[in-house]
Amino acid sequence: MTTSIQPPLQKPPLQKPGIADLDWTLVGFLGVVHGVALLSPWFFSWSALGVMVALHWLFGSIGICLGYHRLLTHRSFQVPRWLEYVLATIGAMALQGGPIFWVAGHRQHHLYTEDAEKDPYAASRGFWWSHMLWMIYRNPKIFNGQIYRRYAPDIARDPYYRWLDRYFLFLQVPVAIALFALGGWPFVIYGGFLRIAVLWHSTWLINSATHMWGKRRFHIEDGSRNLWWTALLTYGEGWHNNHHAYPNVAPAGWRWWEVDVTWYAIWALEKLGLARRVVRPPVEVAAQRL
């Protein structure tokens, strides 16, 4: 009797999406936002620019980095439920998806970092894929709510978060009305369209640039890196190698020179008695000369 030796199973080559797979509605939406943002030089005023910077911080640092990322996704600290809802609502106003979608995608990223098939924004597929192309192709594993909710069951159980996940886009309406009432079209273009576009690319740089360039303090399996200039643009998220090594730690910047504006806000909430169970770097690691 002879036994045949079977060759190991080979993964089929990754199929590159084509034009037919594009989500043209989303492509058009992204194009319109960027197109209107490009009109900003013709509507410039210092007050409009100030509104853009303020809202970039509010929706970016407080909403996305603190609310969506460090609180909802990684549970690196706890706040009262009413405050958690406020922070999640501010995150939804950033126009980067609802809380269930955002949390689920980021948890997949940490579970399967740089896996070309399972990481939604795998840097192994190139800079532009991880930066923005991953969004514009139809992929049910990423965009079908019945599928992505499996990665965020704690968020999906909450009725308010289900509501935000469905209607986050409409939150831009009261924001736009308030901006127009305060400063007309310059405020709408700077505080609305330009703020959205700049914040998009700031956030996307964490998916792309910080998996390609920078320094590696912790030699972990993925290619995450600490990149100082992205940390400045994203309120601390650019200390990405620190974060991937210890994702449930509240501060991303571990040394005094590692500017982490989002951590300063968490620290302030803790001092005010609004944040508790704040996860800090392990003592034995933090004590090392990193």
- At 196, the amino acid letter reads I
Over range 197-223, report the average pLDDT.
94
Q: Is the pTM for the entire model greater than 0.75?
A: yes
Taking the domains of the chain in order of start, what are their residue ranges?
A: 21-286
Q: How far apart, in whole angstroms, are the C-alpha atoms of residue 102 and residue 104?
A: 6
- Model pLDDT, residue 19: 65
For residue 286, the model assigns a pLDDT of 61
| Contacts (Cβ under 8 Å, ≥6 apart) of 133 | none
Strand blocks (E) in the chain: none
Q: What are phi and psi of 78, to 5 degrees?
A: -125, 145
Q: Provide CB contacts within 8 A for 125, sequence distance 6+.
A: 14, 116, 134
Residue range 235-253, pLDDT digits in tens: 999 999 999 999 999 999 9
Per-residue burial over 142-177, b = 16 or more CB atoms within 10 Å of its CB, e = otherwise = bbeeeebbebbeebbebeebbebbeebeebbeebee
Alpha carbon distance 241, 217 (integer Å): 7
Largest CA distance in the chain: 86
Contact 67, 237 (CB under 8 A): no
pLDDT in tens, 120-152: 999 999 999 999 999 988 787 788 888 889 999
Six token digits for residue 157: 């159980």
pLDDT surpasses 50 at 1: no
- Does the pLDDT value for residue 46 go beyond 60? yes
> To which residue do tokens 């643009």 refer?
233
Q: How far apart are the first and last CA of the chain?
A: 61
Give the H or E element holding residue 283.
Answer: helix 283-286
Q: Per-residue pLDDT for 93 more than 70?
A: yes
pLDDT at 41 exceeding the cut of 90: yes
